Amino acid sequence: MAAPRHRLIFIVMTILIDAIGFGLIMPVLPRLLMSVGHVGLPRAIELGSWMGLAMALATFVAAPVMGNLSDALGRRWVLLVALGGLAVDYLLLAWAGSLPLIFLGRVLSGLFGGGYGPAQAAIADITAPEDRARSFGMVGAAFGVGFVIGPALGGLLSGFGVRAPFYAACGLALANFLYGLVVFPETLKPEHRRPFTLARANPLGAWSVLRGHKGMIGAALVLLFWQVATMIYPLTWSFYGLAQLHWSERMIGLSLTAVGAVLAISQVFLVGRLVKRLGERDAASLGMVAAIAGFLAYAVITSTWAAFAALSAVAVQAVVQPSLMAMLSRRATPETQGEIQGIAAMTTGIGAIIGPLVLTWPMAWFTRADAPVFFPGIGFVIAACFALVALVLLRRLPRTESRGVERSGETRGANSHSPTESNPATPACRTAQRSGIEYDRKKGRP
């Protein structure tokens, strides 16, 4: 049996590899599409949006399946299959010499990227309640670090050709697969497993499960609108850098590295403190306000120094995603942790389906030669509108019975309670702990 430290390291590495693979292609994708497809930048933007749509559809289908499989069969083999599939996928992308093969590679990336949900569920399986905040902070930091390493590798290795980053990603995924095969045991206890049913594993069936959890649909809708808004960065940043700021692939990679570094630092030093001080709801609201300001700034920015200065908004918005995930998963039981995390991943996938339609295609239109006005920043204006809707829905979301976690200012103070329900074994307690909120077990206070 592997030590808990090795199990946690493997899960964190799984998230890291997934983030690296997602970020690797971003600096080289525009030039790769222009080169392989023999097209100009506006057409490359359109092709990129179709690829993003195909990848999102694949994740939409795969996420609930993998989540339910991990609840039925355990986390280990689901995660290993995902990693092995990613290694094969990166090798395919490294060899792809035509647009259909690149499309296929991105679809496979979406399918095997569905392992993110089981990885999150495995964290809850193996981490003691008092350590979950730190463990989930490591997962958030791993995703941010992946966004540092991925674009940096993509930008730097592009000097050796646009295929080199994919060979590097293939090697990393394969190494992590072998590491997990040796040291990572099963984390889900047999008594917490449940039978796999297709009715709950398909996307529509998964959404119907939400009706059985009070307040879950409203939280999922907030997550959906927020996901559409934040898709502006992975979908359009590389094209935006070329069209509005006239960046090279190396500069695009460096800028994405800066974004990842800001996210990683914020996850480690800012998220837990803000959630503990403000509660999940208010912390997420603050992050959304900062994000809206950042989106509107990027819509009109025309200089590199201003683009880097606006990253301060990204730092604050880093608190939104973990807060929303905590609100969404609070009512999950040990038997449905994988399913709820899969539904969350599927919700993100729906946002990724909508994103190309409402963010990338308008950008392609406003960068065409016959456009009424040249405006590459149009996608950021649209993203700000989606973030505003998410903010309104969040503030209108009914409060849960647990007090403190989603608290507003009026519930804080001498008479406020710890952010969980009275039973320390409830999902609300577990979620609060992993969000950076402490639970006073000794005093037994609700």
Q: What is the dihedral of CA 393, 395, 401, 402, to 10 degrees?
A: 110
* Mean pLDDT of the chain, nearest integer: 76
**Rounded distance between C-alpha atoms, residue 55 and residue 103, angstroms:** 8
Task: Residue 269: count other Cβ atoms within 10 Å of its Cβ.
Answer: 12
What string of H, E and C letters represents the secondary structure of the chain? CCCHHHHHHHHHHHHHHHHHHHHHHHHHHHHHHHHHHCCCHHHHHHHHHHHHHHHHHHHHHHHHHHHHHHHHHCHHHHHHHHHHHHHHHHHHHHHCCCHHHHHHHHHHHHHHHHHHHHHHHHHHHHCCHHHHHHHHHHHHHHHHHHHHHHHHHHHHHHHHCCCHHHHHHHHHHHHHHHHHHHHCCCCCCHHHCCCCCHHHHCHHHHHHHHHHCCCHHHHHHHHHHHHHHHCHHHHHHHHHHHHCCCCCHHHHHHHHHHHHHHHHHHHHHHHHHHHHHHCHHHHHHHHHHHHHHHHHHHHHCCCHHHHHHCHHHHHHHCCHHHHHHHHHHCCCCCCCHHHHHHHHHHHHHHHHHHHHHHHHHHHHHCCCCCCCCCCCCHHHHHHHHHHHHHHHHHHHCCCCCCCCCCCCHHHCCCCCCCCCCCCCCCHHHHHHHHCCCCCCCCCCCC
- Supply the pLDDT for residue 281: 86
Cα-based distances in Å from 327 to 15, 122, 179: 21, 18, 33
Question: Stretch 180-195: mean pLDDT, rounded?
Answer: 78
If we measure between CA atoms, which residue out of 102, 110, 104 comes closest to residue 36? Answer: 102
- Supply the pLDDT for residue 264: 72
Q: Domains in the chain and their CATH numbers?
A: 4-184+206-409+418-434 (1.20.1250.20)
- Supply the pLDDT for residue 430: 36
Q: Considering all CA atoms of the chain, what is the largest pairwise distance in Å, rounded to the nearest integer?
A: 69
Residue-wise pLDDT tens digits, 117-131? 777 778 777 776 545
The tokens describing 251, both together, are 């500069």
Residue of higher predicted confidence among 326 and 173? 173
Residue-wise pLDDT tens digits, 22-80? 777 777 777 778 888 888 878 888 888 788 788 878 877 887 788 778 888 888 888 88
Question: Stretch 424-434: mean pLDDT, rounded?
Answer: 35
Alpha-carbon Rg of the chain, whole angstroms?
Answer: 21
Residue-wise pLDDT tens digits, 101-155? 988 988 998 888 766 677 777 877 777 654 555 566 677 677 767 777 787 777 7
Residue of higher predicted confidence among 8 and 357? 357
- Supply the pLDDT for residue 14: 75
Residue of higher predicted confidence among 346 and 16? 16
What string of H, E and C letters represents the secondary structure of 168-219? HHHHHHHHHHHHHHHHCCCCCCHHHCCCCCHHHHCHHHHHHHHHHCCCHHHH
Is the entire prediction scored with pTM above 0.85? no
Residue-wise pLDDT tens digits, 275-303? 888 888 898 999 999 999 999 999 999 99
Question: Stretch 200-211: mean pLDDT, rounded?
Answer: 62
- Supply the pLDDT for residue 5: 64
**Rounded distance between C-alpha atoms, residue 104 and residue 90, angstroms:** 11
Residue-wise pLDDT tens digits, 357-377? 899 889 888 988 888 899 999
Percent of the chain, pLDDT > 70? 76
Grade residue 228 by pLDDT with cuts at 50, 70 and 90.
Answer: very high
Question: Stretch 426-438: mean pLDDT, rounded?
Answer: 35
- Supply the pLDDT for residue 408: 45
Grade residue 414 by pLDDT with cuts at 50, 70 and 90.
Answer: very low
Out of 204-208, 214-218, 255-259, 366-370, which region has the weakest mean confidence (pLDDT)?
Answer: 204-208
